[in-house]
Amino acid sequence: MVEEQLIRTNYPEFEPELVKNIADVAVVKMFEPGDYLMKTGQHFRNVILITQGIVKVYREDDEGNEFLMYYLESGQACALSMICAARFEASQLMAKAETKVEVLTVPLAKMDEWMAKYKSWYYFVLQNYRARFDEVLNTLDHVAFRNMDERLVFFLKRYSDTHKTKNIKQSITDIASELNSSREVISRLLKKLSENGVVKLSKDHIELLDLSAYLR
């Protein structure tokens, strides 16, 4: 049982009756930074709706590198949770809380029921798939066609947009891991970017200045 207001704030597009339904059956769960929401090979019994915080969705390789797929924030659902849940299939992705995260979990069966019943839910689910698909395509584009410097800028921008800050507080080592590159390369590229006035390097964070030269 959940406060309806919490749902309305984060999912304003849901129709009133749906909100009431969610409030009835959803369970709130909290995650601390670093907690896993989902691991490779795991199965789902719930749909996960994010109401607070940022979730990092990534793929892990043999050496433990965490290759970033996309971030999820409040107002979004874990598309994979829906898609896997719907077919009782295992996920190929990992999802980890970047910040303190609050989610609503809704039993699987409800997802199917609501798809038929509520247009707003139906569109929400489809829109979510579509958005996630696009993000993966975008990531793929960058890996396939761009050099590391552009990919780095793309990462910084994505981080900045999602975290709503110009200051990236993440170690160079971690950034390298998310781009499946190496610390040394990222370090050198950042140096070049700061020489060009694109970023400003500070002791414990990277500040974004002007990405315009890099975006296309």
| Residues lying near DNA in the complex (CB under 7 A) | 147-149, 171-173, 180-185, 187-188, 190-191, 201, 203
CB closer to a second copy out of 32 and 113: 113
| Shortest distance, position 40 Cβ to a second copy, whole Å | 11
Is residue 88 within the footprint of a second copy (CB under 8 A)? no
Cα–Cα distances in angstroms (integers) from residue 15 to residues 1, 108, 126, in the given order: 18, 19, 16
CB closer to DNA out of 58 and 129: 58
| Shortest distance, position 31 Cβ to DNA, whole Å | 21
Is residue 133 within the footprint of a second copy (CB under 8 A)? yes
**End-to-end CA distance of the chain, in Å?**
46
Task: Report the distance separating Cα 75 and Cα 139, nearest Å.
Answer: 21
Quick one: which of 15, 112, 161, 184 contacts a second copy (CB under 8 A)? 112
Residue 115's binding partner, choosing from DNA, a second copy, none, with beta-carbon cut-off 5 to 8 A by kind? a second copy
Helix (H) or strand (E) holding 49: strand 46-52
Q: Which residue has the tokens 């719930």?
A: 46
Give me the sheet containing 46-52, strands edge to edge.
27-31, 101-107, 46-52
| Shortest distance, position 79 Cβ to a second copy, whole Å | 8
Tokens of 213: 């030269």
